[in-house]
Structure 1
Amino acid sequence: MSKIQEFNELHSAKELLFIGNAWDLLSALTLEKVGFKAIGTTSWGIANSLGYADGELIDFDRHLAIIKTIANNVKIPVSADIEAGYGQDQKTILENVLRTADVGVAGINIEDYLKKQKGLRNLKEHCNLLAEMRTMLDNHGYKNFYINARTDTYFQLQNPFMETMNRAKAFVESGASGIFIPGLTDDEEIREITLNIDAPINLLSLPELTDCNKLKELGVKRFSFGNALSDKIISYLNMNAYQLQEKQNTAFLYEN
């Protein structure tokens, strides 16, 4: 079975797919070792590891090199977070998607939030992009490559529910494999969306949204923690670095 087939099957299994978000090879290998069944890269975590903020500020080649290193060194499927595609035009975005597929990942996250200007990409334009993406991937031997279409409606709009529903349905009709809705936390809205969208729904961990078992009952098929783990690791690193400088003593590093 190919990684693409395996990854698709994880989304149709009885159990919710709890995906581990990695930002470098060590984090990816650790997540694989403890039993996560798939890795999703976190653009935020990768950016931080290179000294940048999130938002396509890294050269795409540098970003893709880390994704490739992860994909080449774990045995489980990898999905690549490529934000909005690292391009200002459709041609560049499609080229970057194909380059990402070529490094051995089983899928991508692609979002509708514009990086160089405010707001969401026009619905018709984004649907056209997804349709072209699906055709291109199929034509290059990547049939069923997992396109996780992210919509940032809950981060960008005042009353996002209906627009989210409209976008999700349109994205699926345009070739998306699944829909990623970060910021969606209300139980009733989650249930309504999972019942009415004919594709797996992926949600993002937030302080008020943490329980895989509860989300499974609401119909969610995939759950990710994004940059939360990388942020926690960075916080721990900062705390220990401050202690070293303050104490001028390394003894605490050897305590259990």
Structure 2
Amino acid sequence: MRRQNGAEEAIGTTSWGIAKSLGYPDGEAIEFDILVNRIKTILDHVNIPVSADIESGYGKDEETIVENVLKLADIGVSGINIEDSCKLNEQCMLLSKIRMALEKSGYKDFYINARTDTYLLNIDPRNETTVRAHAYVESGASGIFVPGLKDDNEIKAVTALIAAPLNLMSVPGLTSCKKLRELGVKRLSLGGALYRKLQSLLDTCAAHIYESQDTSLLFD
């Protein structure tokens, strides 16, 4: 969860968590309609905005990806995370088409969180992140998601260089929301960490019950 405008809560889905909960690996292994149905279930049970992680868009061409984003907007999704799995110019064209289609359909406030893996891949990260962030914002992105960026000085530098809200992914050593706010970060994603923590707890409890032949820990 995160805070919008300092007052309103929102939920961001995790592609990893949704895939694993259905028995699939991450990486667009599930059909898009299955993802839509799972997100629709979430929407039906909350009264706050929901942003959907759609990885690279669940499509082999721009038209399909644009249609997928509109499907999500039509069921009430307020925003998306989308990865730059293609070249810079191609991603900019895709973002522009998504934004134009959204505005044409009346979704002017739809939030596009553009992910770039420059720090994860260590590709001249600060410079490449800055170049891509500027290009993505000009193409219609609302915010920039940079998993792998975790050094305080680098975070300060990047927030000063890009003109869009910065989203980071929580990893060991990057956990304090208070500190990240002070560094200029606007959004923190958990990725699959919360799901993995819950799965570990379930595994530990199940193992303890089996070994002890006693279920009392479930009621402590």
Cα distance in 2 for residues equivalent to 1:177 and 1:157? 24
Q: Secondary structure at the match of 2:82?
A: strand
Deviations 1:123-179 (A, max 9, x none): 000000000000000001101200000111112234322111110110001010000
Question: Could you tell me which residue of structure 2 aligns to residue 242 of structure 1?
Answer: 207
Distance 1:217 1:59, change over 3 A: same
Mapped pair 1:186 → 2:158: no
Deviations 1:27-84 (A, max 9, x none): xxxxxxxxx8110001101111011111111111111111111112211111001111
What is the letter of the counterpart of residue 56 of structure 1? E
Q: Secondary structure at the match of 1:38?
A: strand
What is the letter of the counterpart of residue 49 of structure 1? S
What is the letter of the counterpart of residue 92 of structure 1? T
Q: In the TM superposition, what are the counterparts of 1:1-256 in structure 2 within 5 Å?
A: 10=4, 13=5, 15=6, 37-113=9-85, 121-254=86-219, 256=220
Cα distance in 2 for residues equivalent to 1:62 and 1:239? 30
Unaligned runs of 5+ in 2: none
Q: Secondary structure at the match of 2:9?
A: coil
The offset of 1:247, in angstroms, is 2.2
Higher relative contact order (CA 8 A, sep 6+): 1
Deviations 1:187-207 (A, max 9, x none): 122111111211111111010
Q: Secondary structure at the match of 1:175?
A: coil
Instruction: Give the TM-score normalised by structure 2.
Output: 0.94
* Sequence identity (%): 58
Q: Secondary structure at the match of 2:144?
A: strand
Question: 1:72–1:104: 8 Å Cα contact kept in structure 2?
Answer: no
What is the letter of the counterpart of residue 244 of structure 1? I
What is the letter of the counterpart of residue 73 of structure 2? A
| Number of equivalent positions | 219
**Structure 1 residue ranges (4+ consecutive) displaced by more than 4 angstroms after TM superposition:** none
Q: Secondary structure at the match of 2:96?
A: helix
Cα distance in 1 for residues equivalent to 2:216 and 2:77? 42
Cα distance in 2 for residues equivalent to 1:72 and 1:104? 10
